């Protein structure tokens, strides 16, 4: 594995950890909204949380695509050398 590939793997791991943290935070906001449904601050937090989750989802998908490209290139190079 190349250092670049390993860097993207580490980045994917951090992004997945971030996603878990964001989902946990959203769960807490949802719970608080059940208790106080008309709290504008909580609705702002929910919008922000949803946006951060979408951004992180896009980052994860992008990193996964890059890693797949690395794997395909590696497979092609290995098959050409045979």
pLDDT tens digit sequence for 37-54: 999 999 999 999 999 999
* Angstrom distance (rounded) from CA 21 to CA 41: 20
| Domain range enclosing 76 | 3-81
pLDDT bracket for residue 18 (50, 70, 90): very high
Q: How far apart are CA 22 and CA 79, in angstroms?
A: 41
CA pair distance 53, 48, nearest whole angstrom = 9
What is this structure's pTM? 0.86
Residues 58 and 74: their CA atoms lie apart, in Å, by 24
- Overall domain count for the chain: 1
Residue 77 has pLDDT above 80, yes or no: no
Q: How far is CA 8 from the centre of its chain?
A: 12
């Amino acid at each position: 594995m190349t250092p670049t590939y390993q860097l993207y793997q580490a980045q994917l791991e951090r992004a997945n950890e971030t996603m878990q943290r964001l989902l946990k935070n959203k769960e807490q906001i949802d719970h608080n909204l059940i208790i106080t449904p008309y709290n504008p601050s909580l609705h702002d937090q929910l919008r922000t949380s949803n946006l951060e989750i979408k951004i992180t989802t896009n980052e994860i998908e992008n990193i996964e695509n890059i890693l797949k490209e690395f794997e395909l290139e590696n497979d092609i190079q290995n098959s050409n050398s045979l």
